[in-house]
Amino acid sequence: MSDAERDTPATPPAADPAPAETPQNELTPPASAAGTAARSALLLGTFTLIFTALMALTFEATREPIRASVEARRLELIAQVLPQGDYDNALLTDTVQLPTLPALGIAGPVTLHRARRGADPVALVFEAQAPDGYSGTIRLLIALRADGTLGGVRVVAHKETPGLGDYIDPAKDRATPKWIAQFAGRDTAQAGSWAVRKDGGDFAYMSGATISPRAVVRATGRAVAAIAPAREALFGLPTGASAGEVFK
Amino acid sequence: MNLEERTAYGDIGRKGLWENNTALVQLLGLCPLLAVSNTLVNAVSLSLATVLVMALASGAVAALRTLIPYEIRIPVFILIIAALVTCLDLAFNAWLHELYLVLGIFIPLIVTNCIVLARVEAFAAKNSPLAAAWDGAAMGVGLLWVLALLGSARELIGAGTLFSGIDMIIPGAQAFRLLGDDYPGLLIAILPPGAFILLGLLIAARNAWVARATATRPTAPHAPADAASA
């Protein structure tokens, strides 16, 4: 027995949608086409209103939890490159807007967060992108300490091959210590020339998957080399200001 | 509930879970599910979301079926399904944020999953809300157990673990590393081809089982799994 043959115990009313095999107009007297169309339009409009209202209510109900989730997730990510005990300001709101910088690899302005302890600058936290991953762009989160050393780097999003290049993401990296940990604490004076060992640098990589780490090392180096010289000026800007002048 | 109705509900359940199984017999709406079946947690999460959408959408359509004009039923069905999926997407974003980031585009894509519309059109539009919700849930659970099996197999063969990513749902919970720390992994199981190969093996196993069951009981009433009707 196919599903189409089964019916409800209740007698369907006249307006019940007819089974696919029997078009409705064979059973009911032909209504005027305009009347049918108007009725359909009215019903479709009513349904749209009702279900839009349902979606609007859900949107309102979830707005605050979503904002909290996004914020918590962001702080959690930042905590991986900068321990939460190291600063005591509202990191998510103490920001400046970076202009589009080729060194960051991101089209459009980038929000830079400033971590402070009391009045002392602690670190700058910002995103950068490596355009040359094995399969697409790799998004990075970088913490640059006020003393010029690197706090840490995390891969925020990537599409590298599972099991091969994805060890750049510490959640997938099975080595100890994690590959990405070698960024932490590095002096950034020579960041512009950072490279993996295969290219003459001093960053380790796993043989057989060089492209992903190379992309991460180079992108981090480029971004840090661009931001590090400006760090004092960046800490001095008022909250929410544009940092366009700093990079003129 | 009289005996006849009980038999009917049992019939709906058996069809959904086995005879007319979405993943193994109807092969409907598999693209997003194959894409996220690389771990058990991902597979079960997206399947559960699909079960919920199917049960709610079928129930809602069945409840409103007398009000929906035949000519515009498909737009109304899609409207109902899309509204429910949007609400679910927002709920995932709000309360299961980590999982939301992993499943990403595949939650909204449940709207386009043809199995949802197929059950709404083939069953819910002609049956009572309770029977329709049960049908949607049974079809969804039929998908869920196959996906759970597929996700487990891909994760275990590919990475040697089970329940990786469970901390996205239960914070602090740990994945099982079943094949030891030095298991090298088998990449193809995690990549998309692995999903197709393993699904093929599951379908073959089911067909072999059905063939044997039919062969050993030649006098039993023949109940063909009518894939063509779906």
Q: Is the pLDDT of residue B223 over 70?
A: no
Residue B79 lies in a domain: yes
- The C-alpha angle B139, B142, B148, rounded to 5 degrees, equals 140
B6 interfaces chain A, CB cutoff of 8 Å: no
Question: Among residues 197-216 of chain B, which lie with CB inside 8 Å of chain A?
Answer: none
Q: Which residue of A has its CA nearest to B66?
A: A16
Mean of the per-residue pLDDT values of chain A: 85
- Given a cut of 70, whether residue A28 has pLDDT beyond it is no
Give the angle subtended at the CA of B203 by the CAs of B202 and B207, to the nearest 5°.
120
CB-closest option in A4, A24, A48 to B122: A4
Where in the sequence is the domain holding B25, given as residue range(s)?
Answer: 13-214
Q: What is the pLDDT of residue A19?
A: 45
A31: pLDDT confidence band, cut at 50, 70 and 90? low
Task: Give pLDDT, residue A179.
Answer: 93
Min distance B25 CA to chain A CA atoms (Å): 14
Calculate how close chain A gets to B208, using CA atoms only, in Å: 23
Contact between residue B57 and residue B80 where contact means Cβ atoms under 8 Å apart:
yes
User: What distance in Å separates residue B66's CA from the closest CA in chain A?
Assistant: 5
To the question of pTM greater than 0.90 for the whole model, the response is no
Residue B230 included in any domain: no
ipTM: 0.77
In a domain, B102, yes or no: yes
Higher pLDDT, residue B50 or A31: B50
A163·B159 Cβ contact <8 A? yes
Q: How far is A148 from chain B (nearest CA, A)?
A: 32
pLDDT (tens digit, 9 = 90+) per residue, A144-201? 999 999 999 999 888 888 778 889 988 888 788 899 999 999 999 888 889 999 998 8
Name the residue of chain A whose CA is nearest to B189's CA: A162
Residue B225 lies in a domain: no
A62 and B CB contact within 8 Å = yes
Q: How many helices (H) and strands (E) does chain B have?
A: 9, 2
Distances (CA, A) of B126 to A13, B206, B209: 12, 30, 33
Number of independent structural domains in chain B: 1
**pLDDT (tens digit per residue) in A205-234:** 988 889 999 999 999 999 999 999 999 999
Chain B residues with beta carbon closer than 8 angstroms to that of A13: 66
At residue B220, the pLDDT reads 47
Domain membership of residue B106 (yes or no) is: yes
| Chain B residues with CB-CB distance to A39 below 8 A | 69
Q: Does B76 touch chain A (CB under 8 A)?
A: yes
Q: Do A65 and B95 touch (CB under 8 A)?
A: yes
- Which position has the token pair 């919700």? B133
Min Cα separation B133/chain A (Å): 13
**Residue A155, CA distances (Å) to A138, A207, A220, B125, B143 in order:** 7, 20, 11, 48, 34
